[in-house]
Amino acid sequence: MNLNSSQQLLQLSKKEKIATKRIRLLAVSQFLECQNRTQVANRLKVSRRSVNNWVSNYQSFGLAGLEDKPRYGRQPFINDNQKAQLSAYIKEKSASTKGGRLIGEDIRRYINDEFDVNYHLNHIYHLVKKLGFSWITSRSKHPKQSQEAQDEFKKTAD
Structure pTM? Answer: 0.49
**What is the tens place of the pLDDT at every residue in 124-155?**
989 999 998 887 655 666 777 888 888 888 87
**What is the tens place of the pLDDT at every residue in 59-115?**
999 999 999 888 888 888 999 999 999 999 988 887 775 656 788 899 999 999 999
Task: Answer yes or no: are the C-beta atoms of 68 and 42 closer than 8 Å.
Answer: no
The pLDDT of residue 1 = 43
Scored b (16 or more CB within 10 A) or e, 120-152 reads eeeebeebbeeeebeeeeeeeeeeeeeeeeeee
